[in-house]
Amino acid sequence: MSLQSQFAGIGREGGRAALVTVVRGDDGARASPGAKLLVRADGERDGSLGDEELDRRAVEYAEELLWAERSELRQEADVALFVDVTAPPPRLVVFGAVDFAGSLCRMARAAGWRPYLVDPRSRFATTERFPDAEEIVVGWPEEAFRRIGGIDRATYIAVLTHDPKLDDAALTIALRSEAPYIGAMGSRRAQAKRRERLLEAGVPEELLERVAAPIGLDLGGLTAEETALSIMSEIVAVRNGREGGRLSRSSGRIHEVGA
């Protein structure tokens, strides 16, 4: 099976991989147009671009873009490489079967994400209340993360419950993971108390700086839907390396354009 066919198969199955193709070679024999290298999310690779150093650089580009989830043209000396990425939609793991969570799951689904709802209380965590959730996990955080396959660099986490037991358990695990975003709901006073508890539990202070709290952008929203929009807006901004400010006050490029 060709590398192109393997890459297409990974995409159909909802997997993650990058296919690096030489689209313009150099004047020498280092790389020929059309040469391909397939890089999977677990680090395995197939094929070669025809040069060991070029392969190494291609793998670096692939591993970067695999988790940025975008395809780009990259230049390596005189050689042009197109890094084509396939990846499943990012995951948003929402802790707490509260009213805000239902709105957030709807907002995430509308944005093309896969929302997961986690709560140990089966009477609240139901498909009737959360029809937009990709999956509802009735259990505590450690079990929940295990059931959804762990936390990778495409897993974003929103803690919406006000139950210290659930809050702290979820954050303790998430803060030691590769999750690019960890947000927590609550007033500034509640955040301060949570911080004290986590420090007392042995969570390093530098890890606590990773928590986006209070969660969301300052949109002035009052309803559950407006709050969900605030949270989802912050998450999308983080995913795209943006601050989430107004475009009318921005001097940079509005939308990043790939190859």
Query: Looking at the structure, do residues 70 and 155 belong to the same domain, yes or no?
Result: no
- Confidence (pLDDT) at 163: 85
11-34: pLDDT as tens digits = 999 999 999 999 887 655 567 888
Q: Is 113 left (phi over 0), alpha (psi -120 to 50) or beta?
A: beta
Residue 125's domain is classified under what CATH number?
A: 3.40.50.720
**Statement: residue 59 has pLDDT above 70:** yes
Are residue 14 and residue 107 in the same domain, yes or no? no
Domain count, the chain: 2
| Mean of all residue pLDDT scores within the chain | 89
Is 251 inside a domain boundary?
no
Q: Is the pLDDT of residue 176 over 90?
A: yes
Average pLDDT of span 107-116: 96
C-beta separation of 50 from 34 below 8 A: no
Q: Which residue has the higher pLDDT, 145 or 247?
A: 145
C-alpha–C-alpha distance, residues 46 and 40, integer Å: 9
Q: Hey, what's the torsion of the CAs at 173, 175, 177, 181, to 10 degrees?
A: 120
> Is there a domain that residue 45 lies in?
yes
Q: Are residues 98 and 212 in the same domain?
A: yes
Count CA within 13 A, CB hemisphere, residue 171: 32
Say yes or no: 54 and 98 in one domain. Answer: no
pLDDT digits (tens, 9 = 90+) for 73-91: 998 888 899 999 999 999 9
* Residue at which a domain ends, from 46, 65, 86: 86
Residues of the chain with pLDDT > 90, as a percent, come to: 68
Would 246 be classed as within a structural domain? Answer: no
Q: Are residues 112 and 169 in the same domain?
A: yes
Residue 96 predicted with pLDDT over 60? yes
pLDDT at 253 > cutoff 80: no
Residue-level pLDDT at 255: 54
Give yes or no: residues 190 and 73 share one domain: no
Whether residue 245 is contained in a domain is answered as: no
| Residue 138 resides in a domain | yes
* Cross-strand bridge partners of residue 85: 18
Give domain status of residue 153, yes or no.
yes
Quote the distance between the C-alpha of residue 213 and its chain's center: 18
With respect to residue 106, please indicate whether it lies within any of the assigned structural domains.
Answer: yes
What range defines the domain where residue 121 resides?
A: 91-239
> Are residue 224 and residue 113 in the same domain, yes or no?
yes
**Averaged pLDDT for residues 57-78:** 90
pLDDT single digits (tens) 35-55 = 999 999 988 999 998 888 999
Nearest to 124 by CA among 145, 144, 102, 103: 102
Task: Provide the pLDDT for residue 259.
Answer: 42
pLDDT confidence of 257, banded at 50, 70, 90? very low
* Calpha distance 232→212 (Å, rounded): 12
Please tell me whether residues 8 and 128 are part of one structural domain.
Answer: no
